[in-house]
Copies of this chain bind each other. A is one copy, B any other.
Amino acid sequence: MEKMPLKTVKEQLAEVQGWKLEDEKWLIKKYRFRSFLDSISFVNEIAKLSEEENHHPFISVDFKVVTLKLTSWRAKGITELDLMLIKKYDSLFGPYQINTSK
């Protein structure tokens, strides 16, 4: 899979929430949870998906905050796969989302 032009990456990032581009090759997002165990449960869902797609983000758990960091090593940048996966990550996060408007 080929590296996506930076312009396209930025356009696509405008359509998702909370994802940042770093060094033109990393997609990063911090997810906040109600509890540490919710963090860990989310990590397990991300892990399962990562194995299925054979594409593994860096995962870090800082108590109730999980950070995901993604790139495509072979392409030396962001590919369609990365953009597809961050949407899946967001969708897995859905049920955990803290409704801050309440």
Q: Which residues of A contact B (CB under 8 A)?
A: 36-37, 40, 43-44, 47, 50-51, 56, 58-63
Q: How many copies of the polypeptide does the oligomer hold?
A: 2
B47 lies within 8 A of A40 (CB): yes
Compute how far the CA of A18 lies from the CA of B59 in the bound complex, rounded to whole angstroms. Answer: 21
Selected from B43, B56, B58, B63, the residue in CB contact (under 8 A) with A43 is B43
A51 lies within 8 A of B63 (CB): no
Compute how far the CA of A73 lies from the CA of B63 in the bound complex, rounded to whole angstroms. Answer: 13
A58 lies within 8 A of B62 (CB): yes
Q: In this complex, what residue of B is CB-closest to A39?
A: B47
Which B residues lie within 8 Å of A62 (CB)? 58
A47 lies within 8 A of B56 (CB): no
Compute how far the CA of A14 lies from the CA of B51 in the bound complex, rounded to whole angstroms. Answer: 37
Would A61 and B63 be within 8 Å (CB), given that A40-B47, A47-B36, A47-B40 are in contact?
Answer: no
Compute how far the CA of A43 lies from the CA of B47 in the bound complex, rounded to whole angstroms. Answer: 11
A58 lies within 8 A of B56 (CB): no
